[in-house]
Amino acid sequence: MHCPRCGQQQVSEETKFCSRCGFPLGLVSEVLSHGGFLPQLANLQKNKKLFTRQNGLKVGLVWFLIVTFLLVPLAAVTDAPGEIVAFLSIVGFVGGLLMMLLSWLFLQKEINSDFRQFPAQNENIAAQFTSENPHRTNALPPQQSQPVSSYVPPAAGNWKAPDTGDLVPRSVTENTTKLLSKDE
């Protein structure tokens, strides 16, 4: 098996990560064993909802644009009664805006399943952001810092400066240019 990112040939089929670039190869072998398809992705497609906030906003916008800018002028040009033209203009304008407003207020956002993790992690991440999660809190985690009283400064003489490689930086012009001298 070869790494899909860098092309490095792997030692065995059981390798979890690429030896050259570190790409996770766990799912690559699973994709190859199922003929290029992951069965977990079928479950993600089944759980997609039709009535989401994004779909509601799109339908409301299309309704508004088609009825207001297409059907109302078409009805006016074809000599339809004035009541029908007025009704279409009100339904198109108010109905489209009302549909967008109600979908924005009441419909849930679609959970984006295009995470860059494995499918089991996707379910865990999605579960954390839904309102049904009983363990979700808006509080900060407990304090984990060390109190000041437990800090002991180093004893005199035991402290050593970190080895930062105290080298003198080279000059940019050293051994590269000649100094100009006045010819008299």
Q: Are 56 and 100 in contact (CB under 8 A)?
A: yes
Residue at 3 is within a domain: yes
- List the domain range (segments joined by +) for residue 14: 1-46
Any residues with CB less than 8 A from the CB of 160 and at least 6 apart, and which?
none
pLDDT digits (tens, 9 = 90+) for 77-94: 998 999 999 999 999 999
Angle separating helix axes 82-106 and 53-66, nearest 10 degrees = 170
Which position has the token pair 């199922």? 34
The answer on 70 and 38 residing in a single domain is no
Residue at 28 is within a domain: yes
Residue at 37 is within a domain: yes
3-state class (DSSP) for residue 28: helix
Question: What does DSSP assign to residue 150?
Answer: G
Residue at 66 is within a domain: yes
Stretch 7-12: mean pLDDT: 79
Total domains in the fold of the chain: 2
Structure confidence at residue 115 (pLDDT): 46
User: What is the C-alpha to C-alpha distance for residues 36 and 28, in angstroms, rounded to an integer?
Assistant: 9
- The H or E element containing residue 86 is helix 82-106
The answer on 58 and 78 residing in a single domain is yes
Stretch 62-79: mean pLDDT: 93
The answer on 38 and 16 residing in a single domain is yes
The answer on 60 and 33 residing in a single domain is no
Residue at 69 is within a domain: yes
pLDDT digits (tens, 9 = 90+) for 34-65: 776 677 776 666 666 778 898 999 999 999 99
Structure confidence at residue 136 (pLDDT): 57
pLDDT digits (tens, 9 = 90+) for 111-164: 665 544 455 555 655 565 555 555 556 666 677 777 777 777 777 777 777 677
Q: Are 64 and 100 in contact (CB under 8 A)?
A: yes
The answer on 60 and 41 residing in a single domain is no
Stretch 61-75: mean pLDDT: 94
